[in-house]
Amino acid sequence: MSRGKRIIVLSAASGCMWALIATLLGWLAFGRPVLGGIIASPFIGLAAGYSSRFFPSTGRVKRAIFALVSLCIAACLFGASIGAFAVLTGELSGNDVYQHPSDVLIETTLASLFGMILGPYVLLLWPLSYANHSIVSKLWTESG
């Protein structure tokens, strides 16, 4: 398998593993609309995998910051995917109050981001993000 295909497969698989973690953490908060994030997770993984190309060219502190920023962006994309799924399936809110679709997208995006960084989850997920970028970046630096 070529290096490019291995990067794509590893990045998409990584996105799916992150979706499993996010689903375990977010199912109680979001319910069925988490399926939107699960559907989008391979594509979020591809974006994160592509960004790993720039990971090895920085120092350790910059790589740690890179991993945190990447984690936050991925959480926002996952949350936006949850919101998009909720809008598309008509599950706009848990009660009978009407919510504008853009409100749902913003709410789920910010809830995913702040739920991760303001809770203890970031202490586990940040090192995992760093390790994930380290693994994928090795494929980018391979010759051939």
CA atoms within 13 Å, Cβ hemisphere of 7: 21
At residue 63 the predicted structure's pLDDT band, cuts being 50, 70 and 90, is: very high
Q: What is the pLDDT of residues 66-109, one digit of tens each?
A: 999 999 999 999 999 999 999 999 876 556 567 788 888 999 99
Cβ-proximal residues to 36 (8 Å cutoff; 6+ apart), any chain: 81, 82, 83, 84, 85, 86, 88
- pLDDT mean over 43-47: 96
Model confidence, pTM = 0.90
Per DSSP, 118 falls in state: S
Is the distance from CB of 7 to CB of 140 less than 8 angstroms?
yes
Output the pLDDT for position 95.
61
Extents of the domains making up the chain: 3-141
d(CA 14, CA 33): 21
Q: What is the average pLDDT value for the chain, to the nearest integer?
A: 89
